[in-house]
Structure 1
Amino acid sequence: MTTLVVCLDRTDDVGRKTGLRSPIVGWEAVRALVTDVGLADPEDSGVNSLLEALRVAQSLRDDDEEVVVAVVSGDRESMVSADRAVARQLDDLIAKYDPESAVVVIDSAEDERLVPIVESRVRVDSVDRVVVRQARDIESTYYLLKQFLADEELRQTVLVPIGLTLLVFPMLATLVGPAEGAAAITTVIGLFLLYKGFSIGELFTGLARRTRESLYTGQVSVVTYVVAAGLTLVGLFVGGLGVSNLDDPSGVFLPAMQFAFDSVPWLAAAALTASAGRLLDEAIREEPIRNSYLNLPFIVVSVGLVVRGFSAYFLEQANLIDPIYVPAFEGGILTVESFVIGGGNRLAMFVVAGFLLSLVGVKVASTFSGTEPSRPESEPEREPELVDGSSESDSTRSP
């Protein structure tokens, strides 16, 4: 079994400092390369990376494994050409030595981007990341800052936003004032940090991917999501219209309750439509439907009933809506006089209805998607033995 221990250098620091062309293969060649790179630039972390590759190769040899140690570098023209150069060199090494696995040695995040290229050609058993320990003093801080400024990717990530901020702030301060300019810049920075912190870009990317897949596969949920979006807009419009019709919309609590009272039926219908479409997609797949999809429509209606009940209670106490009037009913031997449901009775009715509906949802979900747990495989039950050591079947067997 041959193992390839490969040290990756995407930006060709080795070739730039020593004038050698990669790949550099063999124990003696790599050991001589350590000396050349160390003499050219003793501060380069690539020296530690090369030494780590030799150490790993020696350790594998001590375990009686066949090892090939090599250094593979890219070029300095562009990242694409560098990756292609690494791919070509790896193909040559694999064709010549036919390794069964590889151990990758890297010393930076830039070199780590080459790991998928290696994985696409040979099985990677380990990725060894070399971290150089440094003294924490002023001199080391200076060199760290110098290395930071020399890194193009870090400069674009950190220095460019700071430079834009320093350029935009004087213009905003001149046009709208220092306080407004500082507020605008901090708002943009805050939104940017939230955008990165919550991975909103990835969420939008995933949403676009799921939407594209839904359109191509012809899922029913595409139509129901559009209907749900329309019902949501209607609910928001009806809620805003109800708030605007208040005689005295001062304060926050009562307008919020009026908005919830008017918009909750539409919003619940939107959520119910979206969940129904998702449930239909699961049913069309002819696979067992998960409990969450079956239970979601009941939960949506239950929450809508509870929110509607509480908002109606507060609005009724403020004399903004009337209690529920139930007219008299006469049918055969059953006669019901008219009555009014309001206040706490109205709230209790909505809460109990929501609670019962949620229980019905749990029961329906467990009935239609639940499966009896399979018994663990075990040895067949042994027949009880009699006193003399024979089994019960032996005692009943005819001679």
Structure 2
Amino acid sequence: MYKYQRCTRCVMDNKSDRTITFDNKGYCNYCSDVIKRMPTSYFPNEEGKKLLDATIKQIKSECREDKFDCLVGVSGGIDSSYILYLGYQYNLRMLAVHIDDGLDNPVAVENIKKLINKTNTHLITLKPDHEEYADLLKALFKASVPNLAIVQDNLIVKAIDQYGKDNNIKYSLDGNNIAHESILEHGDGNVNFCDKKHILAIHKKFGEMPIKKTEFITLSDRYLKRSFLSSLKHIRPLNYISYNLEESIKKLNEFCGFEYYGGKHYESILTRFLQCYYLPEKYGADKRKSHYSSLIVSGQMTRDEALRKLEEPLYLSQDLLDSDKKFLADYMGVSLEQLDAWINLPPKKQSDYPHSLLNEMSPIARKFRKIIE
């Protein structure tokens, strides 16, 4: 019988994630796992500075004859923006890659312009075919799955790997970090966003046109070829500094006039709608729990503060929600009534649709990581 329970250390609960577990102190497996990982994964101290300094020195040495020292995927969000800022402080020659899918928050678009100009970074902007991209998004809505951003996430990873290979770049600086995103709800029936087979299976069932111009990365490309065959090395610099959210926003604002867009992943209108309306309304899932819990375990937020913030409305206003819904409907070329009809379909799991068997190895991979650490 289901009994509601919330972690006594962070704010993760079993409302939308029945895979969560709690120990005899009421601590959940998410924050407990992160706390065990931190000594070998996060270095917000002098040790981290020494490690980062040594890494940057190695990058500059290996790439001194190359046009670029590294690749950086940029979204206009805080993490990738801070990577550009940090790279500039170290005088790195960066090649920035941005996927302009037409769904960017205008604030994020301006942030990218400001950062690129201030850091004098070379920017490549890739625009997926609009008709295909819109049809893929419609298929995800029709499939009634939780991850509407799966195509968006897949394409940026694909672009980074492809541009690294095409331009013979040896290093990629990733914005993934322990401080702000160490906790991510696994849930039941999730499918990795790099699963090309899964994306195309959903589109085959619900799409209205052939996909000929949009290329995806596969799970084997992402986790096997990237690890063992690719010459592109992925570095996560934010794990080697004291990466405080409020301080980072302040530094970026002073540096180039960076404007915060209101919440994690709100740099995209799609992901803002996904996290602030679609997931809470349809699946009872509030992504803020993961985001705030990450800040709790990294010492940037108290549990009481997180609980208070969870009481605040997800959308800043009804007008903003209405505006986002209209934008998405227009983007897909459908009516608001049709969009609402899709939203109101019975919820499905990602795993209800065909997917690669490599997805089944993710729990094993997490356990293997714990053993190594």
**What TM-score comes out, normalization by structure 2 length?**
0.23
Rg larger for: 1
Q: TM-score, normalized by length of structure 1? A: 0.21
Higher relative contact order (Cα pairs below 8 Å, separated by 6+ residues): 2
Give 1 or 2: higher helix fraction: 1
